[in-house]
Amino acid sequence: MNSVTVKAYAKINLGLDVIRKRPDGYHDVRMIMQTIGLHDTITIKKTNFQSVTIRSNLYYLPTDRRNLVYKAVELFCINYPIRNGLNIYISKRIPVAAGLAGGSADAAATLIGLNKLFQTDLSLEELMHLGVRLGADVPFCLLMGTALSEGIGEILSPLAPMPECSILLVKPDVSVSTKHVYENLSLDEEIWHPNITAMLDALKKNNIYSLAPLMDNILESITIKEHPIIGEIKEKMKDMEALTALMSGSGPTVFGIFDNQHKAEKAYRFFKSSGYGKQIVLTKPYYPETISKSIRET
C-alpha cells in the first residue's frame, strides 16, 4: 500500500457546559459532541525521500510544524519510526477557526491514515491515547458519533446516536479566540448552565423535539456580547423554522437544527444571499459504523 485517503469529519456541540476552572488553568467541561457529515479529506502518500511535505487547497493554512497534521506525523513517528518520507494533501472544506474542530479532525484522520499505511495495527483506544497529546478534541474526532465529553474534553462516553435531522452551519466573518472566551467566563456569577443531564435523557428517547429545546452553550454568554451577529444569526435561523440554533464550541459558527430538509434548504438559500457570512453549509449528523469505512487505500 503506497497511499491512503481518509475523511476528517467536523463536530458540533449539541450541549456545552463549563463546570469549573481547575488549579492548572484548564476548565472542566461537560459537552455533548456530535460528528457531522461535513469533512476534509487527507491523502497521505509514501515517498522515497526523508521529508514530510504538506499541501492544501487553502493558501492561508500553515503547512509547516504549526499544522496539526504535521504534529500528528511527528508524534506518530516518535512512537513508531518509519523509513519513508510523506507527501500529504489536505483538501479543506471545514471552515478554519470556526468551533468545528477542523484541525483536530485532520490530526485524527492523519493518525488513522498512518496506522493503516504502515500497518501498525493500533487499536482505537491506543490511537485515542496518542491523539490526546495533540489536543483535547482529538480523541473524540477518532471515536466519532455522539458522545459525552468530560474532564478537559478527553473523557469520552459514547451515547445513543442523535435523531436524524438537517443541520445548517453559518460562520460569520468574525474571529473568536478560544482562550479569550474561557478567560472571560466568570463561573462565580449566577450564570445559567445548560442541562446536560436532561439532554442525555432526551437522547435516550431518540426524540428531536424533546432534545432541541434543551441544546445550549454556556460560552454564548461571552461571544454574543462581543459579536452580536452570532445572536442575530441564531434569531434568523429560528425565524426560518429551525427547531433550535446555537453556537458550536467557542464559535463563531452557529448551527440550526431542522426537522425537515425543505425548510433547511430554504434557510440555506436565505443565508447564501444574505450578508451574515460567506461560509454556509447544509449537512446532517454522521453515524459511523466503523472508522475503516472512511478510509480508501491505493
In Å, what is the CA distance from 244 to each residue of 27, 58, 216?
26, 32, 9
Measured CA to CA in angstroms, residue 117 lies from 73, 75, 112 at distances of 12, 15, 9
d(CA 34, CA 92): 20
**Does 106 sit near ligand ATP (CB under 6 A)?**
yes
DSSP annotation of 285 reads: B
97 part of the interface to ligand ATP, by CB under 6 A: yes
Number of residues that bind ligand ATP (CB under 6 A): 21
d(CA 154, CA 33): 12
For the bound state, the minimum distance from the C-beta of residue 111 to ligand ATP, rounded and expressed in Å, comes to 13
Q: According to the binding rule CB under 6 A, does residue 12 interact with ligand ATP? A: no
Q: Cα–Cα distance between 141 and 68 in angstroms, integer?
A: 13
Which residues is 276 bridged to in the sheet? Answer: none
Which range in 22-30, 59-67, 190-198, 267-275 contacts ligand ATP by CB under 6 A?
Answer: 59-67
238 in catalytic set: no
* DSSP E strand stretches across 141-187: 146-150, 155-158, 166-171
Does residue number 103 form part of the binding site for ligand ATP (CB under 6 A)? yes
Closest distance of CB 139 from ligand ATP, Å:
13
The least distance separating ligand ATP from the CB of residue 155, rounded to whole angstroms, comes to: 17
Residue 150 φ then ψ, to 5°: -130, -175
Binders in 168-227 for ligand ATP, by CB under 6 A: 178
| Catalytic, out of 17, 40, 106, 137 | 137
Q: Is 17 a catalytic residue?
A: no
Contact footprint for ligand ATP (CB under 6 A): 61-62, 66-69, 90, 96-104, 106, 137, 178, 249-250
Residues forming the active site: 11, 137
